[in-house]
Amino acid sequence: MTQEEFIRQVEESKGTLYRVSCAYLRQEQDRADAVQEALLKAWQGLGHLKEEGYFRTWLIRILIRECVNIQRKQKRMIPSDVLPDRPYESQGTNAELREAILRLPEGMRLAVVLFYMEGYPVEEIAKIMRVPKGTVCSRLARAREKIKETLKEDAIC
């Protein structure tokens, strides 16, 4: 894969990378750190990617790894009441839905992002999350129920 092709594919995946990082990290700065690290590692490790058709799946997995690393290594530097979480809110952001999703356990959250927001099929999500297909389905079903409960309305098809 050429550098131009790499950049093109990354730019096409920008929204996905952003939303996957949102599933793990609450601070915008951390999300940018994770994506930056993931892109550098992907670029350096491009030779390990045997099939270019799996590039996006592969990149998402690298990003998940980086998000988990940041969670693991994160050190609280000042109390959270001094440095509040400031989610970036662009026009049209559905804050209620965001809160409902962020209340889900991590595994469910990622499944929701990949299935409902990114439109990945269950098989592909199973590969990305490294869990059986049945686990993805059950996580999605439980996530739907929990989001319904949180939103207190029958908002989900």
Partner 1 sequence: MLNRKEDWQAAFGNPSPAFDARMRQTLNHLEEEKTVKKFSLRMAVLVLALILALTGAVYAATNVWTIGDYFNQRYGDNVNAPRDFDSGFAGNFTQELDGLTFHIRDAYVDGNQLSAIVEISRADGQPALFRGEDIMEDDPIGDLYLEMQEDEAGLMPVAEYARQHNLPLYWVGMGFCQADQVLTGGADYWMEDGSKRLAYFLTAEDVQVEEGQAKLQWRVYVYPEDGGPIHRQEIEITVPVEPLKTWSVEIQRPVEGLPVVLDQLNLAEGRMGLHLEYVWHIDESQADTELARAIQQVDINLWFRAIDPDTGEELPGGATLGGSYGSPDDVHFVQSGDSVSASFQGDTLYIQPYDAWEKNTYGVIEVKIREE
Q: In a 10 Å sphere around its CB, with 0-12 CB exposed, 13-18 middle and 19+ buried, how is residue 93 labelled?
A: exposed
Q: What's at 91, amino acid-wise?
A: Q
Measured from the CB atom, the residue of 72 and 152 that comes closer to partner 1 is 72
123 binds partner 1, rule: CB under 8 A: no
53 binds partner 1, rule: CB under 8 A: no
54 binds partner 1, rule: CB under 8 A: no
Range 136-155, binding partner 1 (CB under 8 A): 155
Buried b (16+ CB within 10 A) or exposed e, 13-28: beebbebbbbbbbeee
Measured from the CB atom, the residue of 53 and 84 that comes closer to partner 1 is 84
Q: Report d(CA 115, CA 122) in Å as an integer.
A: 7
The distance of closest approach from Cβ of residue 51 to partner 1 in the complex, given in angstroms and rounded to an integer, is 15
CA geometry: angle 122, 19, 47, nearest 5 deg: 75
Q: Report d(CA 116, CA 66) in Å as an integer.
A: 22
Which residues of the chain form contacts with partner 1 (CB under 8 A)? 3, 6-7, 10-11, 14-15, 17-19, 22, 27-33, 35-36, 39-40, 43-44, 47-48, 68, 71-78, 82-84, 88-94, 97-98, 100-101, 112, 116-119, 130, 132, 134-135, 155-157
